[in-house]
Structures are given as C-alpha cells and as structure tokens.
Amino acid sequence: MKTLDLTAIQWHVTADSKPQLIKYKSLLHRLALITGASGGIGAAAARKIASMGADICLQANSNPTAAEKLAHELKKIYPLQTFTVITIDLAKPEAGSTLIKLCQDIAGNPDIFVSCAGTANIAPLNDLTEETYCKLQYLHLQTPLFACQAMLPHLLQHKWGRIVMVSSIWGITGASCEVAYSALKAGEIGLTKALAKEWGPSGITVNAVAPGVIDTAMNSSLETATRLELIEQTPVGRLGTPADVATAIAFLVGREAGFVTGQVLSPNGGFLI
C-alpha cells in the first residue's frame, strides 16, 4: 500500500487554530529544469510546476534579468522551495551536456526537463542560410537531445523522470515560410516518441506539447490582420496564452501522468482538428 508523504501537504491554520488541508504537492523534492524560462511559455510552466512543489532551475539566455526576477517572485510565494537561474546560449554545439552540468553544479540533478527554449525563423526557404539553420537545429533539436542524454544516469538510478518537449502544430502540419522551424519541431516529436519507447521501461516518461498560435513575444510581430485571421480560424475564438500551454505541461510532468508517454498534447483551441 502506498503511503502519503506528509511533508508534501500544504496546511493552513484557521482563526480557530484548526489546520485545514489546502493542497498535496505531488512534485515536492523533485527538481525541474526549464529552458526558455525568462518569459512566455517557459515562465508560465515554471509558475505552474512550482505550485506543484518542485524546485526549479530556470535557464535563460538573452534576458537573464527576467529569469532572476521570476526566481525571486517564486521564492516569496514558495519559501521552502529553491529557485535558481543559469545563463547559457543553447544554440551552440555541446550546449546540451553543458546545460545539465551547470544545473547539477548550481541546483542538483534534474528529475524533470521541460524544453521550452525556441525561436522562429519566418522567411521563404530561398532566404535560409546554413548558418541560421544550424543555430535553429542546435536550439530546437540537438541541445534537447544531448541534455536528455546527460540526464539519463540520474534518472536511471531513481527509476523516475519526466521529459516534455515543447514542439508546435507546425511540427505536425508544416508551415509555409517556416520550413526549417517546421522540420525541427517535427524532429522534436520524433525524438519524443523514440525516447518514450527506449526509456519507458526505466520509469521515465517522454511527451510533447504542440501549441497552436500562442500570444507570446515570438508572435508579437504578427500583423493585426493576420492575428484576426488566426483568431477566426480558431474555434474557441482567441489566441492561446502561455498559461494554456503550461497547464498541459504540468499535467505531463505530474505523478498522475505516469501512464502517459510518447504522446503529443496539442493545446490549440481547435485550430488543428
């Protein structure tokens, strides 16, 4: 029979001194490494996973100040948990193993990896350079792959792990003028499915989320007419929010999702049916 970890229970003492159960924190004592955590989906995922009791290691590159601010914000809310920030450019060779080494040095071995870091490249294929493609490939595919590889010894030792790749609906359908991005996001889905088969027997689940059009800084350059057209094509009548995607991520990293692996969960408001 399973026993309940009483240290993972959050209590509130009422005015009449009677403690009331507020929430069972299912990820207490787990460390989550989240890339692209300075804003958007990564920051929203950090907030959601922190609420589940996990310690968080936030990766940032171009805006470490925002990640530090988020870490301080979360520490005030959850004083018994740890929140750390590492700064590294993930669009480089060997960034995957370096990322895990930095996390280990500053926070410990991650049990959970949420790969949120990414950037779009909107241009026709004729304008794509090899240099740009290589940077996109490092960021979206090579770095997450080798980060997972570097995490494996710890995950095998404890027979537990959660990996979530943040892909895109364009990795499922493809997108005109986003050929490289679409191909690499499809690659993330392939990586997810292959790792799920390879690591499932070891208690490690690997899943992906494939968001629809989300209202983030990455999509801030969309023209008003384009935004309205996308909203019209979305049955729920709006663009997605980072919190919409974070909710899906939180489910997949939770203890309750232990029988879910190799799946692609797509919060897209019905844009793709």
| pTM (2 d.p.) | 0.90
Residue 46 lies in a domain: yes
- Cα–Cα distance measured from residue 157 to residue 160, given in angstroms and rounded to the nearest whole number: 8
Catalytic residue annotation: 181
Answer yes or no: is 83 within a domain. Answer: yes
Exposure string (b/e) for 160-174, b if CB count within 10 Å is 16 or more? bbbbbbbbbbbbbee
* Number of independent structural domains in the chain: 1
Residue 50's domain comprises 27-265
Identify each DSSP E strand in 65-203 by its residue range: 83-87, 112-115, 161-166
Confirm whether 68 is domain-assigned: yes
pLDDT in tens, the chain (273 residues): 444 454 555 554 455 555 544 466 889 999 999 999 999 999 999 999 999 999 999 999 999 999 999 999 999 999 999 999 999 999 999 999 999 999 999 999 999 999 999 998 899 999 999 999 999 999 999 999 999 999 999 999 999 999 999 999 999 999 999 999 999 999 999 999 999 999 999 999 999 999 998 887 766 667 788 788 888 999 999 999 999 999 999 999 999 999 999 999 999 999 999
User: Looking at residue 232, which CATH number applies to its domain?
Assistant: 3.40.50.720
Neighbours of 273 (CB within 10 A): 6
Does the residue 4 lie in any domain?
Answer: no
